[in-house]
Amino acid sequence: MTLHIPFDNSYAALPDSFYSRVEPEPVKDPSLIAINEPLARELGIDGLDDPMLAAIFAGNAVPDGASPLAQLYAGHQFGQYNPQLGDGRAVLLGETVGKDGIRRDIQLKGSGRTPYSRMGDGRAWLGPVLREYVVSEAMHALGVPTTRALAAVRTGERVVRERPLPGAVLTRVAQSHLRVGTFQVFAARGDIASLQTLFDYAVARHYPEATDPATFLDAVMRRQAALVAQWLSLGFIHGVMNTDNCSISGETIDYGPCAFMDSYHPATVFSSIDRFGRYGYAAQADIIVWNMAQLATALLSLMPDPEASVEAFTAKIHAMPEMIRAEWLSRFGKKIGIAQAVPEDATLITNLLALMEDSETDFTNTFRGLVDGTARDLFADPTGFDQWTETWTARIDGEDDPEGAMRAANPVLIPRNHRIEEMIQAAVNGDDSLFHRLNAAYAAPYEDAPDYEDLRRGPLPTEVVQATFCGT
């Protein structure tokens, strides 16, 4: 049966200034690593037994109805504005409206050069492709808004990074690839007509309740506040929260040097290029406010009187930290069994985090240990934890189902850095079994899973991952 993707493209109907028409570059010898069949069915895709499947998801054959293009955007990268970025190694094939009624993009990542590639080769190597596949699907199973992975394909070619490495292509699915940087590029150019077109498109696609740029900003901020608070509650570190990696839809996007914390420390940084901790674990709450300030600046141009709107927009941005704190309190309250946390509960939560930091206990295992009674064993000197437990027990005594709240908020399994690295090294050597095992394990991260008990363990000293890399 021939593969059928029910394309229904809208972005390609926007003016040419929004993108460049480009087709993916064919590769030498495509071979399929994985196809996400449940996601394919959700998207209404048929014909997954097509012998051309690997060729299609490698970019060698463009499916009927696709309208390939590379999107234009700009962005602040580590605080420095780059006036033109764009999809330098990705091609948007088109969009589908899934069985759930949600419109989503289907994009090939690592599919060759585009007009925005600059000095890059437009390719991706196998490691980052598998990392994004595993971590994005794990994030989905954890309940985090995220892009998804539809397929991964080896190219049969080598790409040169620090050394020749096996090439691969990821097929990524997102509610859209509109970014803060998409708004920035037109605002910076003074192209108000295109900015208005983009705004109207984003409202129709993501926020139909928004009536003007001010209410649109409010809606985007709410989603971003909730998203970052959820990241923090899981110990997730995005690693490269540039404005071009900040999705308007409120999805986690661009899994480059991402990582999950093992031992809790709020200043944890993994990204090799984040030398000053701009995008470290705890800094994410501040940087999303900064990113939203850049969006607000771009949107001001659409207000009837931009100068008169500065004060109102500034007030919105200044109110965002409290919005994040409220989301953080709700998330972390549930992690200790409180269904509806109140401001006074913040002290109880932060006291536990301080004990965890002092003892360097594992973030995920400590919180899950509150459910199964193993948390105390993680503290070398449990005296402080015992004292905290007395206060905590008294606080949750009146809760209807504290254990249920904790089980739903505290995963058993997360994609740990050392397991991801182990999986990548095996795949480089031609063994995909660990890749498939991790995908199976992370599909139900909140359930006790004896078969995957080894994946709960934090890294041994020799397994600690000191830094992560963009690497695509």
Where is 226: in which H helix or E strand?
helix 213-234
- Which one from 87, 105, 244, 362 is the annotated catalytic residue? 244
Contact predicate 168/154, CB 8 Å: yes
How distant, in Å, are the alpha carbons of 54, 110, 233, 258 from that of 66? 16, 17, 38, 31
Tokens 């991790």 -> residue: 438
Q: Which two tokens stand for residue 374?
A: 């193993």
Distance, CA of 250 to CA of 228 (rounded, Å)? 9
Distance, CA of 371 to CA of 86 (rounded, Å)? 45
Where is 346: in which H helix or E strand?
helix 345-359
Most distant CA pair in the chain, distance: 65
Is 218 an active-site residue?
A: no
* 171 residue type, one letter: T
Q: What is the dihedral of CA 182, 188, 192, 195, to 10 degrees?
A: 10
The closest alpha carbon to 66, from 45, 87, 86, belongs to 45
Q: How many residues does the chain have?
A: 472
The closest alpha carbon to 182, from 265, 84, 81, belongs to 84
Distance, CA of 460 to CA of 458 (rounded, Å)? 7
| Beta-sheet pairing, 259-260 with 236-237 | antiparallel
Tokens 């899950």 -> residue: 368
Distance, CA of 77 to CA of 256 (rounded, Å)? 14
Contact predicate 285/326, CB 8 Å: no
Contacts of 56 (CB under 8 A, 6+ apart): 3, 50, 62, 63
Question: Exposure of 162 by Cβ count < 10 A (0-12 exposed, 13-18 middle, 19+ buried)?
Answer: exposed
Please give the angle made by the CA atoms of 227, 229 and 235, to the nearest 5 degrees.
Answer: 105
Where is 366: in which H helix or E strand?
helix 363-372
- Active site members: 244
